[in-house]
Amino acid sequence: MLAQFEGRYLLVATGAPELRTAVIDHLPKEVQAHIGGGFTVEVHAGIRDVAAAAEPAQRAVEEREEVATLQRIRDAGPRAAAWGAQATLDALREGRVMTLAVDDEFAAPGARCGNCAGLWATVPARCPACGSEAITAVEDVVEQALEERAALELVRSAAARQLMTGLGPMAALLRW
């Protein structure tokens, strides 16, 4: 099912802890590596009840992923990472972004160059990258940045947002 639905993690619902262990022990090793967490729910629970019971485990997996991504970006250092809105937008313009991390609540107006497609946190008279006057104001530079081809990590958890504090609402792990 993980392969069929392109899942990254498997949440396991069981009653007794020994039943959970027995189920996991019978899974192939490659599937066991993708166990994201567990939760408890009645055997005859409906879809809504299962979704509600699984939500805390799902949120915990998402938080771990967000924090791990941001930690990789921080650990990459200044040569292999970009922090802050304009530095990240510059890296996107250069095609260097491998992984883009954005605070899910961040939105800001800015500009796009019609010549080089550069994104800017402010609206310049001329494009700082190519000198073109073909500048168009955009309502949300984040929305424009999301159109670029990069792996995306939307930051929603408090722990991940704490890592971004003081560094800016956008960050990127760079290709080169």
Separation between Cα atoms, residue 50 and residue 45, nearest integer Å: 6
Mean pLDDT comparison of 8-12, 41-45, 58-62, highest-scoring range? 58-62
Residue 76: partners with Cβ closer than 8 Å, 6 or more residues away: 173, 174
Kindly state the helix (H) or strand (E) to which residue 37 belongs, with its residue range.
strand 35-39
Check residue 143 and give its pLDDT.
Answer: 87
Q: What is the mean pLDDT of residues 43-64?
A: 93
Q: What is the mean pLDDT of residues 112-129?
A: 94
Confidence category of residue 51, pLDDT binned at 50, 70, 90: very high
CA-CA distance, 142 to 87, in Å (whole number)?
13
CATH class of residue range 77-174 = alpha beta
How far apart CA 30 and CA 72 sit, in angstroms, is: 24
Mean pLDDT score of the chain, rounded to an integer? 91
Rounded to an integer, the average pLDDT of 147-161 is 90
The answer on pLDDT for 121 being more than 90 is yes
Share of the chain above pLDDT 90, in %: 65
Q: Quick one: the chain helix, strand, coil %, rounded to 5?
A: 40, 20, 40
Q: Tens digit of pLDDT for each residue in 8-32?
A: 888 888 767 788 888 889 999 988 8
- Dihedral, 55, 104, 146, 109 alpha carbons, nearest 10: 160
pLDDT digits (tens, 9 = 90+) for 77-108: 999 999 999 999 999 999 899 999 999 999 99
* Residues belonging to the chain: 176
pLDDT of residue 81: 96
What percentage of the chain exceeds 70 in pLDDT? Answer: 99
Residues linked to residue 154 through DSSP beta bridges, in sequence order: 102
- With tokens 């924090």, the residue in question is 67
Q: Which of 28-32, 69-73, 160-164 has the lowest mean pLDDT?
A: 28-32
Range 114-126 average pLDDT: 94
* 8 A C-beta contact, residue 148 and residue 97: yes
Sheet with 135-138: strands ordered across: 119-120, 110-113, 135-138
Token digits of residue 2: 């993980």
**Bridge pairing between strands 119-120 and 110-113:** antiparallel
